[in-house]
Each structure stands twice: as structure tokens, then as C-alpha cells.
Structure 1
Amino acid sequence: MGEPAYVSIAGDYARRIRTGALPPGSRLPSLTDIAERSGVSPIVVRQAVRLLASQGLVRTVERRGIFVTDRPNLIRVAPERQLESPETTFGNESDREVRVERDTERILATEVLASWLGLQIGEEITHTVTRASEDGRPISISDTYQPPEIEDTTAARFLEETLADRLPTETHAQWLGTPAGDLVKAVHQRFLDPEERVLMVADISYPRDRYDGFVFRMNLDDWGIEPPGEPEAPHNAG
């Protein structure tokens, strides 16, 4: 799945804001200036600004412009991030060294995994563990499960996400260094095709203090729903 231009532009500004290159109170260039520099239309830039605002990174002041918020916090936005690799996602969050490791193997579906994927118990599935660290500090771990004939999620039409604070599995706790009894931010995902067949299931864990909030977005264009008017820039989470 290619990265939309507005996600790329938002990621570039998010990185500059979080690294201090654009300090709190800084004024961003106008929509027209950003559009000319990026080679896109002002409509695309407006989408990027909305995404930055939903992450609590910028605010719009009428007749004055777009400004970096006083205390930018990490807010995870989905499903835009599903269009990015973990390297890009975490790279946009800081200027620290991000390392991502992946291990893939074929396993036999347990009763739970078979029910998630709509398969028979004992059928072979693909299991991938993805671990991410930032300057050596573990920041994310995920387990993804797919039917063996599915190589990616390009055919996905729907993404379901469930967020909870919960006790991590043993392997997730070990990677994140979670003390016994402590909770993590856990996200359970299901990617479905147009016929709502499950293409992939994922369980992701983050340190509980990494994100101040989670924002979930969906594209209403596919449903023929008129989008709402210009949203106000949200207040900082936390």
C-alpha cells in the first residue's frame, strides 16, 4: 500500500516538531507555500494539517496561521499508520535511532487462531514477530498471523482495531521490560477484504506511557457520506 502524499507531508512536519527543529509556538508556512514546495495541491496540504492537528502537534488560529502547539505529545493515529512501515512510523516520532527486527515462521493454527482467521485447527499459517526499539529502548512488539496464501494486506477493505490497557503476554512483557503486574497499551487488529474474509490478525503492545492518546480515523468516501466541515484543532491530550 503506497503512502499518500498528505501522510508523507504530515510525517515530515511531525518529525521536525518532535525533534525541536520546529519549536512550540513556531508558525508553519502557509498552505500555498507548503503545496508549492511539495508539488501538491492545497487540498492535500489541508489533509496533512488535519492529521497533524489530530495528533495534537499543531493548532490553527483564524486569520493568523498554523502554529506548533505548546506541548506536542505522542498520539497514535490509525489507520493512516497502517500505510507506513514501522521504520517510517517511529522515525517520524523522533530523531533517535530506530531499529526494527522481524522473525517469520510457519506454525499450526491453534483453536483461537483458527477461529480468528476462519480456518481449521491445525492448518498452517504464517506468524511474524516484529520488534521495534528506539536508541536501544524497546518501544513496540507485535504478533501477526496470516493464512499461508496471503502475502500482504493490499486487498484489505476494512481495518478493525480494539484498544485496551491489559497485561501483556510473556513474550511481549520480556521485550518491553514490563514489570510483573504492569499493563501495556494493547491493540488488536483485523484486516478484512471486501467479502469480510480475514486477511491478517495482529496483536501489538506498546509501553503504557509511550502515547498520550489514540485517534482512530476511517475514510467515509467509500460509503458515499459527505465529510463534515473543517474541524477545529483539538486540544493537547494528557
Structure 2
Amino acid sequence: MTDPAYVSIAGEYARKIRNGDLPPGIQLPSYAEIATRHGVSDIVVRKALELLHGQGLVRSVRRRGIFVADRPNLVRISPERQMETAEATFGNESAQQVQIDRETASIQATDELAEAFGVGVGDELTHVITRASEDGRPISISDTYQPPDLSGISTATDLEEAIADQLPTPNHAEWLGTTPGDLVKTVSQRFIAADERVVMISNISYPRNRYDSFVFRMKLSPNA
């Protein structure tokens, strides 16, 4: 899946900021300069800079421009990152080498998954385990489930997300290298279609100190 242009542009600047090529306080090029350099419109540039703002990497100074934040934070934003591949998400966050490994299998629905998806116990589900590491250090692991006849988040209209500090599952603890009793940051997601069907469930674990903050972004209807 190809990332949108604004995600790629934001990722390029994010990497430069995090590896020190763009130090705190330095001014970024103007909208017009960025647009010309990448061959995109001002709208694309604006969305890229909004993404950098949301990640805590840059700040705006009225009548002067965009500057690298004094202390760039590592912020996880949802559902913005749902438009990205895991490779793009973690690659944009890090100036280090990121590796993504996926393991896909067909499983039988447990009582809990059957109830969530509205299928029968034992019915077939697709299970994907995604593991991410940064210079060989584990930084994320997720279990994603969906019925094999659905196209996942492409049919979803709503995302429910719950964030908590809790004990990891044994598989997540093993990958992240936590010691018994250590908590991790967990994100539980349910992707829901317009007819209220759950089309995908994802359970993600990160080291507790991976992110400075978590931000949930959603569209609001002005007529709601």
C-alpha cells in the first residue's frame, strides 16, 4: 500500500528532526518551498505540517513560520496512523533501522471472538501477528483478527479504541521482553462498519515508555 504524499513528506521531516539533521529551533522551509521540492499542492503541504504538529515535532510562530520544537515528543496519533503501513508508521517515528515481521494464520473463533464478530464458535477467522523492532529492540506487537470474507478497515466507518496500562499476554510479554509483573501500554481497537458489524479487532502492546503521549483524532459532524 502506497502512503499518501502528505504522510511521506511528514515522515521525511520527522526522520530528519529525530536524527538531528533538523535541530530544535531551526525553521522549516516555507509552504511554497516544500510544495515545489516535492511537486505537490499547498493543501498536501498543510496536511503534512499538521501531522508534524500533532506529533509534537514542530511549532508555529505567527507571521514567522514553522520551527522544530524545542523538545520533540514521540506521540502516537490515532486514527491518523491507520492510513499507514506498519513500516511507514515506525519508519516515520524513528531514525534507526526498523524491521516489521508478520505471521498470518487461519484460526477458529473462540467464544469471545465469535460474540464480537457475530459468527459461530469454531468459525474461521484470519489472525495476523505483527512484530516491530527498532535496531533489534522490540517496540510493538499486535494481534489482529477479522473474518476472511471481509476487507477489514476498508469497510469500517468507526474506530473504537481503549488504552490502558496492564499486564501483557504471554506472547506479547515474550516479544517485548518484559519481566513478570511489568505493565505495558495496551491499545485495544474495534473497527466497525456502518451496519454496526465489527470487521476487525486489533490488540497492540508497546513498552510503557515508548510514547510521551497518545492522541485520538476524529472528525466531528457540524450538524451532530
Q: With the length of structure 1 as denominator, give the TM-score of the two structures.
A: 0.89
Instruction: For 1:191-210, list aligned pairs within 5 A.
Output: 191-210=191-210
Q: SS state of the match for residue 153, structure 1?
A: helix
Query: How far 1:2 moved relative to its partner?
Result: 5.2
- Which residue is equivalent to 1:158? 158
Instruction: For 1:15-30, list aligned pairs within 5 A.
Output: 15-30=15-30
| 1:211 and 2:211 matched | yes
Query: How far 1:137 moved relative to its partner?
Result: 0.4
User: After the TM superposition, which of the residue ranges 154-163 and 210-219 deviates more from structure 2?
Assistant: 154-163
Query: How far 1:208 moved relative to its partner?
Result: 0.4
- Which residue is equivalent to 2:81? 81
- Which residue is equivalent to 1:233? none
Instruction: For 1:36-75, list aligned pairs within 5 A.
Output: 36-75=36-75
Query: How far 1:150 moved relative to its partner?
Result: 2.3
- Aligned pair count reads 223
Query: How far 1:4 moved relative to its partner?
Result: 2.8
Larger relative contact order (CA 8 Å, sep ≥ 6): 1
- Which residue is equivalent to 1:127? 127
Q: SS state of the match for residue 160, structure 1?
A: strand
Q: SS state of the match for residue 53, structure 2?
A: helix
Contact 1:7 1:80 in 2 (8 A): no
Structure 1 residue runs without a partner (length 5+)? 227-238
Distance 1:4 1:100 in 2: 20
**Aligned residues: CA RMSD:** 1.6
Letter in 2 for 1:140: S
Identity of paired residues, percent?
62
Query: How far 1:151 moved relative to its partner?
Result: 4.4
Distance 1:191 1:219 in 2: 15
Q: SS state of the match for residue 70, structure 2?
A: coil
Q: With the length of structure 2 as denominator, give the TM-score of the two structures.
A: 0.94
Q: Which aligned segments of 4 or more residues in structure 1 are displaced greater than 3 angstroms?
A: none
Contact 2:3 2:85 in 1 (8 A): no
Contact 1:2 1:83 in 2 (8 A): no
Contact 2:103 2:129 in 1 (8 A): yes
Structure 2 residue runs without a partner (length 5+)? none
Q: Deviations for 1:171-218, whole angstroms, at most 9, x for unmatched residues?
A: 101100111111111001111222221111000000000100011112
Distance 2:208 2:35 in 1: 37
